[in-house]
Amino acid sequence: MTTTDTSSGSPTEQSDREPGARGPGALPGPAPLDGEPVLQLRKIGKSFGSVRALTDIDLAVPAGKVTALVGDNGAGKSTLIKAISGISPPDEGEIVWQGRPVHVRTPKDAAALGIATVYQDLALCDNLDIVQNMYLGREIVERRLLDESAMELGAKRALAELSVVTVRSIRQAVGSLSGGQRQAVAVAKAVMGNARLVILDEPTAALGVSQTAMVLDLITRLAERDVAVLVVSHNLTDVFAVADYIAVLYLGRVAGSGPAADFDTHSTVELITTGRSSRPGAAVPDTSAVAGAPS
C-alpha cells in the first residue's frame, strides 16, 4: 500500500473550507456531515492483471448515515466492497478506520474492526434455524454443552433491536423465511457482533415491494443506531428512499459523490452511464461533502 500525500489538497479534505461549503457549483442541500466518518478511503486502486478495476477512490462513510454506492455493471462496486471487507485488499491507497490508517487483509481483520458485510447470497444455511444461523461458528458453550437459551435470547434481542417483528419463531428454519426476512436475519447476524459499519450488497435485488420496504426500513434503523451503512444498489428508487449520501462509480472512478439532496434521478443516471452530469453540483466528485474527514 502506498501512503497518500495528505498535503495535496485532495477533495476529501475539509480543513480549509468554510463550514457548510461544498465544491464549486454545488447545489443547496442539508448541512454537511454531522456524522463522524467511520471509514475513509484515500486514493484506493486495484487491478486484476491488465484490468484496472479501481482508480483513486476517495470516499468517506459517516456513522449514523446511509451511503449508497451506485454504478453500472462492471463499475467496480463489488471490487470496492471486497477491498473494504478484506476479501481482496487494494493494491494502492489507504483505508482509514475511525481516524487511524489500517490494513484490512482478511475478512477477520474487517470483523475485528467492526466491519460487517452482508453479501447478496446472504451465506445463510437453509436447513438451520434462525438461532443456529446467527451463532454458526460462534456458538455459546457452557460446560461443553451448547447454551441454547443464551443463544435464543441473543438472537431474539438482535432481531428486536432492529424491530424485526414478522418472524414467527426464531426456531424456524431459515429456508422457510421470505426473502425480506432472510435479509433481516442476515443483517441481525452481521450487527450482533457490534458492527460499526454494515455493508449491504444489493439487499433488495431479489425482493418484492413489501419486502423491499421492510429492508429499507431496516437500513434506516441501522443508521438510527449510529451504525454507518454502505449500501450497493442498482435501484435508484431505493437509493433515493434511504440514502443520506450517494457515491457514483464509473469505470472504477468516483464520478460524483455528495449529499443525496444534491442528486436527482436524471443527474444520477447521467453519472452512472456517462461518468458526467450536466448538473454542476453532482458532476464534481465532491467527497468533502461526504467526508467531514480529518485531514
Ligand X SMILES: Nc1ncnc2c1ncn2[C@@H]1O[C@H](COP(=O)(O)OP(=O)(O)OP(=O)(O)O)[C@@H](O)[C@H]1O
Nearer to ligand X, 34 or 48 (CB): 48
Among 4, 14, 78, 257, binds ligand X (CB under 6 A): 78
Candidates 66-74, 91-99, 129-137, 271-279; binding stretch for ligand X (CB under 6 A): 66-74
Select the binding partner of residue 59 from ligand X, Mg ion, none (C-beta < 5 to 8 A, by kind): none
CA geometry: angle at 35 spanning 97 and 28, to 5°? 125
Distance (Å, whole) CA 230 – CA 219? 9
At closest approach, how far in Å is the CB of 23 from Mg ion? 28
- What residues contact 78, with CB distance under 8 A and at least 6 apart? 201, 232
| Pairing mode, strands 66-71 and 51-62 | unpaired
- Round the CA-based radius of gyration of the chain to a whole number and report it: 19
In the chain, count of helices (H) and strands (E)? 10, 12
At closest approach, how far in Å is the CB of 14 from Mg ion? 30
Among 2, 3, 5, 51, binds ligand X (CB under 6 A): 51
Which spans of this chain sit near Mg ion (rule: CB under 5 A)?
77-78
Among 32, 76, 180, 258, binds ligand X (CB under 6 A): 76
Nearer to ligand X, 79 or 85 (CB): 79
Question: What are the CB-based long-range contacts (under 8 Å, 24+) for 7-11?
Answer: 10/42, 10/43, 10/58, 11/58, 11/285, 11/286, 11/287, 11/288
Q: Which three cell numbers stand for residue 215?
A: 429492508
Select the binding partner of residue 79 from ligand X, Mg ion, none (C-beta < 5 to 8 A, by kind): ligand X
Among 60, 66, 75, 188, binds ligand X (CB under 6 A): 75
Among 32, 62, 71, 114, binds ligand X (CB under 6 A): 71
Select the binding partner of residue 20 from ligand X, Mg ion, none (C-beta < 5 to 8 A, by kind): none
- Buried b / exposed e across 50-84, counting CB within 10 Å, b at 16+? eeebbbbbbbbbbbbbbbbbbbbeebbbbbbbbbb
Nearer to ligand X, 39 or 53 (CB): 53
**# chain residues binding ligand X, by CB under 6 A:** 11
Q: What is residue 62's three-state secondary structure?
A: strand
- Binding positions for ligand X, rule: CB under 6 A: 48, 51, 53, 71, 73-79
